[in-house]
A = this chain, B = another copy of it.
């Protein structure tokens, strides 16, 4: 590693982890209003409260819905393209399927509208009501074929079931058929009962914990053996996966039950998945590169929330990656993940 020797490819970055929240939510159309149907309420200048179940879930800035404000921020972040996806608490997996479908349809329409207003500098990920796999597949078809979204954002768990559970196989088969990439983001995480301190620890500690377990469930559940063409990424650098991996690899070598049920070494499987760079630390980034390989990492920022990486390209530079690695992480891996270079699929 030779820190600060390479200059970052300026302004070419692709951020695959950035969120939107719509300025408004529609009224629920149906008989029984779900208790957690979201709404927006006025807050201080340029901000609004996301209201869920009668409480302020989060106060967000107009950068969540304003295309001009978002576009104005991209150059200073070194980004040529930002891929926007809804704030995960809006997945609505916990609602009745019809309500979840209504909410995700609205979010997908809003996402497509934001992408349209982006003048080529924004791309979008859809969301789908995974509490009902058939409905989710139909919504994915709409998001990809009608709205032109390139990927789908899903939770690290769906009402407690990790994404690697075999029951989700038909959905991932549809993702491959539709050439839609999958971005797995933490939501309603495991481990909440182990936290001691303020509510923010959910995002800070339990989110990466749940993402790590979700990624591990994909590895141990054999999803990539069944869907080798699936392009799947994990938020927050894969969360705790990098720390779990050496023990998983060793466990695979020691326990016959693991070797019998997992067809390839976990240390190989993890290199066929994608991860964002949202770890706020040079040494941790280098550890991700070591564990997952140079083809696996893509820039992620959590823009425009407060807990975001504000200088993602400088972070790559300070991690001391070589020029080829910088190019791969800053944009080439993301282009492959998003299917933007179809002729380069095999590289």
Contacts and interface: CB of A to CB of B under 8 A. Distances in A.
B208 A243 contact: yes
A196 interface: yes
Contact of A196 (B165, B244, B245): B165
B198 A261 contact: yes
A208 B248 CA distance: 10
Interface residues of A, number: 61
Nearest to A156: B194
A290 B195 CA distance: 25
B217 A195 contact: yes
Number of chain copies forming the complex: 2
A279 to B, nearest CB: 5
A157 B262 CA distance: 30
Q: By DSSP majority rule, is chain A's interface helix, strand, loop, or mixed?
A: helix
A314 interface: no
Contact of A213 (B160, B195, B244): B195
Given A200-B258, A258-B197, A258-B198, A191 B209 contact: yes
Given A190-B191, A196-B217, A221-B197, A212 B255 contact: no
A297 to B, nearest CB: 15
Interface stretch (A3-11, A124-132, A170-178, A280-288): A280-288
B244 A194 contact: no
Contacts of A250: 280-281, 307
17 contacts: A160-B193, A190-B190, A190-B194, A195-B216, A200-B258, A201-B216, A201-B220, A204-B244, A204-B247, A205-B213, A208-B244, A240-B244, A243-B284, A246-B284, A249-B280, A250-B281, A283-B287
10 nearest CB pairs, A to B: A246-B281, A204-B251, A196-B221, A240-B240, A198-B257, A194-B213, A197-B220, A243-B243, A250-B280, A200-B255
